[in-house]
Structure 1
Amino acid sequence: MQNTQAKTLGLATLMFPLALVLFELATYICNDLIQPAMLPITQYFGVSPTWAPSAMSFYLLGGAGVAWLFGPLSDRYGRKKVLLAGVLFFTVCCLVILVTQNMYQFLILRFLQGSGLTIVSAVGYAAVQESFEERDAVKVMALMTNISLLAPLLGPVFGAFLIDHISWHWGFIFIALMSLVSWFGLKAYMPEVKPPVEKKPMSDLFGDFKKVYADSHFLSLAIALPLVVLPLMLWISISPVMLVNELGLSSLQYGLFQIPIFGGLILGNIVLIKVVDRYPLGKTILAGFPIMLAGAVIAALGLVVPSLTLPFLLIGLTLVSFGEGIAVSVVFRFAFSSSDMPKGTVAAAMSILNMLCFFTGIEIVRELYSHFHMAAYLLASILIILIWFTFPRRALLKGMRLRAEAEAKEQA
């Protein structure tokens, strides 16, 4: 379901992505505001603090659990209908979690709330990619990322405020209100791209996914997305325990510690927007991963010099986030455009891969953290980044070469 009338950037055309990013911000805040409140929540339900990272991993697993459905549905019935229905479902889940009575019920609702992540990535992102020219789509994605980064920047601070002065329940009420406002904006401004006249039967659903995942070039490019995002995702999930329990920071200090780290991600996206028109698409990925690796190594130096653990963490993770910022939107575009299958299905396949990698990574590091503490996170991040320098990097170079050859043929 490709939109053949891709638009250029302008105030009118930006209203849809701005409405979408408000919902994306709500889905991110649903994690970033709640994570610092997870220690009091575990106390509220009378369970061990080691349950705290599971609130994030179940949230991500929920996104993976429904991605297979939302993307293909949007191919058949239209992006807008599916997106609006998904936003309403997420809003309801944020309200129902207020009446949960134990940790198991809480995690079930976190799983259901995870559908919001898939609505953004499998339906919303596909609509953005179809609505703009290629480089404009990269800029829009980078702009959306910068706005959504208000979540990890402000979420921990607001979460700390909730812990100290009110109750974690109000966080979900605030998130539900944001989601509802987004619904009205999407209803008013999201373009209606009609699905194909000849719809495939839903029985073809798994066959389409099989074709997508059978494409080794697509898989090699798509795996780069969780590789570029996972180090920071692990940080978000494990940092409340690491900074507060292990390193003795207060809730407010924990929130303030995140500001320069996610400021690096914002700066990276700004740099991407400035340079994306100057260089062949993909160059920023080739620069981003080495910067991330350097940052992860610097952060790990805190294991060697304990007296400088916090400065090394701050500098290293800021570099990791900067490297992610100049790479992630281009990584998404390369993977998304590498398959000729229906784009809702492609975006859903990417979302499933991402969420499963995030869930698996967080749960593995959570278990390792109970034995090896900070070293588990830092060494895992280095290993994840190093994986990119193998087959994903080769796939990127192949993709860049194919793009260059296609452009040369068009100019000839």
Structure 2
Amino acid sequence: MLPIVLGLDIRCIKFCKRSMRKVVVNAGLNNDFHKHHYFFYLSQLYMWVDTAALGKLLSLYPPSLSSFTGAFMANWLRSHFYLLVALYAATIFISNDAFLPAIPIMSDDLDVADGQALMAVTVFVFGSISVQFIVGPLSDAFGRKAIMLGGGLVFMLATWVCGLSDNIAMLLSARFCAGATMSCIFAGGFAAINEYYGDDNAVRALSLSANVTMLAPMLGPVIGAFILQFHTWHYIFFYDALLMAAVLVLLVLYMPETNLRLLQGRETRLNLRSVFSPLLVVARNRRLMISSAAFGLSGAVFMMWITGSTIMLMKNLGLSAADYAVWQIPVFVCLLFSNNLAPKLSRKVGLDRYVARVFWLVGLAAIPFAIASLFETSLLGVMLPMCMFAFVKGLQNAPFNQYVLRLEKVYKGTAASLYSFVNGIFGVLGALSASLLAEHSNASYQALMAVLVASSMIVGWYALRINKSDAS
């Protein structure tokens, strides 16, 4: 079948339509034109979607529907790359929970105590905040995409080494390296989302990414327990490394670069000054630092729950492991529900007004903790204050991330990294506090939670006051 070739200027649709009709009539295909008419417009749409085809020649029989679908999906993924960032984050976060059901088996295999095996969690968290000051400037110098790909490659290799570990030192070293890549999510992925989308769309994208990461504490142990039904604990790490390899391929293909300096062709040569100069600039931004501290204080409360809920529910209230898992669900359901509600509310009210109002709710969330700490706590006395706080925390997450990053106009990668570091410090303090209170009653936990939540409101309002005065 001889193709009839037509030169196509994609901006002249009407002219192309008339030309196509003439060609078809001259070829004696007038009776069947309606069949080819569909394919003609399909080719027009394909050419609009696939910009790489601009200016090429169009034959009578254009690309197939499958080719058009592939081009459409590719462009859809590029414009929704935040889904890939969410998958990237989920792969890293799940790795910190998936192996927890295997701790007793790992302890036997590595000939260590359970407490030493649990150090794999501690070094992962420590690793996550250890390179925050470096990753942010690297993201500003070399681009968001490069830092995501580099971090993902390190995570994949380190997680694979975890699966190969035959001693505790090898496991802990690899876990530290894997944890260090967590900063790439904030300095690379979240910074790219902030730059690529407007305020409202960025809040929605960050909210979805937060949803995925918040599911990790629930999904991780389930996935790990499922793998243990068929394989040894080593395969938990192997499968996680393979998942990251798949994510890296998608990032290479579909993640855009959003760093304006690179897009404008500016010099990106790195030296020590270029690493630490942006850090010093951002660290002097008192609005960003105080706002980060306010958010970190509320994050410390949630980390206290994640770390100390085992003591609060199982040891102090006598719940079984199964009951403990069930009673985690209401907390995360409240968190996820409000996290999805937050973008709609912030868009309706306005980001600045929304953040101010949420800090009022944060302060109110301290009251149930304070009341519960005065009495002999029951299961309801533990769960009700925590569920209320989880709901408020979900309202705070994505909009406040967007609000804080908006306070830095130039070095957004460094700002995201420093913001994450401050939150990580408070998270470590929250986990440490929960560990130190392991021999105390639930009232002690809830009294400290009330103090932290109230402090978050006070520091938050002080930050808003500074932001308002500086803006004026």
Q: Give the TM-score normalised by structure 1.
A: 0.84
Instruction: Look up the match of 2:56.
Output: none
State the alpha-carbon separation in 2 of the partners of residues 77 and 180 from structure 1. Answer: 21
Instruction: Look up the match of 1:170.
Output: 235
How many Å apart are 1:340 and its aligned residue? 3.3
State which structure, 1 or 2, has the greater radius of gyration over its C-alpha atoms: 2
State the alpha-carbon separation in 2 of the partners of residues 285 and 163 from structure 1. Answer: 44
Instruction: Look up the match of 2:328.
Output: 258
Return closer, same or farther for 1:215/1:381 CA change in 2, 3 Å cut-off. Answer: same
Q: Equivalent of 1:133, from 183, 198, 204?
A: 198
| Residue-by-residue CA offset, 1:77-126 (whole Å, 9 max, x unaligned) | 22112211111111111111123344444333222111231010111111
How many Å apart are 1:220 and its aligned residue? 0.7
Of 153-162 and 226-235, more deviation after overlay is shown by: 153-162
Q: Equivalent of 2:452, from 364, 367, 384?
A: 384
Instruction: Look up the match of 1:109.
Output: 174
How many Å apart are 1:381 and its aligned residue? 2.4
Which structure 2 residues correspond to residues 116-265 of structure 1 after superposition, within 5 A? 116-161=181-226, 167-193=232-258, 195=262, 197-199=266-268, 201-204=270-273, 205-265=275-335
Aligned AA (2:452): I
Q: Does 1:279 align with 2:344?
A: no
State the alpha-carbon separation in 2 of the partners of residues 202 and 310 from structure 1. Answer: 55
Instruction: Look up the match of 2:378.
Output: 309
- Give the conservation status (yes or no) of the 8 Å contact 1:87–1:183: yes
The residue matched to 2:437 in structure 1 has which SS? helix
Q: Equivalent of 1:335, from 400, 404, 427?
A: 404
State the alpha-carbon separation in 2 of the partners of residues 163 and 375 from structure 1. Answer: 37
- Give the conservation status (yes or no) of the 8 Å contact 2:370–2:446: yes
The residue matched to 2:256 in structure 1 has which SS? coil
Which structure 2 residues correspond to residues 282-301 of structure 1 after superposition, within 5 A? 282-292=352-362, 294-295=364-365, 297-298=367-368
How many Å apart are 1:397 and its aligned residue? 4.1
The residue matched to 1:32 in structure 2 has which SS? coil
- Give the conservation status (yes or no) of the 8 Å contact 1:292–1:319: no
Q: Does 1:88 align with 2:156?
A: no
State the alpha-carbon separation in 2 of the partners of residues 249 and 150 from structure 1. Answer: 23
The residue matched to 1:363 in structure 2 has which SS? helix
Return closer, same or farther for 1:377/1:43 CA change in 2, 3 Å cut-off. Answer: farther
How many Å apart are 1:234 and its aligned residue? 2.6
Instruction: Look up the match of 2:125.
Output: 60
State the alpha-carbon separation in 2 of the partners of residues 200 and 81 from structure 1. Answer: 14
Return closer, same or farther for 1:262/1:51 CA change in 2, 3 Å cut-off. Answer: farther
- Give the conservation status (yes or no) of the 8 Å contact 1:79–1:192: yes
State the alpha-carbon separation in 2 of the partners of residues 166 and 254 from structure 1. Answer: 26
How many Å apart are 1:317 and its aligned residue? 1.8
Of 201-210 and 233-242, more deviation after overlay is shown by: 233-242
Q: Does 1:395 align with 2:460?
A: no
The residue matched to 1:278 in structure 2 has which SS? helix
Aligned AA (2:251): L
Of 260-269 and 192-201, more deviation after overlay is shown by: 192-201
Aligned residues: 393
State the alpha-carbon separation in 1 of the partners of residues 363 and 393 from structure 2. Answer: 10
- Give the conservation status (yes or no) of the 8 Å contact 1:98–1:172: yes
**What is the RMSD computed on CA atoms of the aligned residues?**
3.0
State the alpha-carbon separation in 1 of the partners of residues 81 and 90 from structure 2. Answer: 14
Aligned AA (2:335): L
| Residue-by-residue CA offset, 1:108-148 (whole Å, 9 max, x unaligned) | 32221112310101111111100001121111101221233
Of 232-241 and 288-297, more deviation after overlay is shown by: 288-297
Aligned AA (1:253): D
Aligned AA (1:155): G
The residue matched to 1:199 in structure 2 has which SS? coil
Unaligned runs of 5+ in 1: 1-9, 406-412
How many Å apart are 1:283 and its aligned residue? 3.7
How many Å apart are 1:350 and its aligned residue? 1.5
Return closer, same or farther for 1:263/1:338 CA change in 2, 3 Å cut-off. Answer: same
How many Å apart are 1:327 and its aligned residue? 0.8
Higher relative contact order (CA 8 A, sep 6+): 1
Return closer, same or farther for 1:157/1:301 CA change in 2, 3 Å cut-off. Answer: farther
How many Å apart are 1:58 and its aligned residue? 2.1
The residue matched to 2:141 in structure 1 has which SS? helix
State the alpha-carbon separation in 1 of the partners of residues 239 and 369 from structure 2. Answer: 34
Q: Does 1:75 align with 2:140?
A: yes
- Give the conservation status (yes or no) of the 8 Å contact 1:284–1:326: no
State the alpha-carbon separation in 1 of the partners of residues 305 and 126 from structure 2. Answer: 17
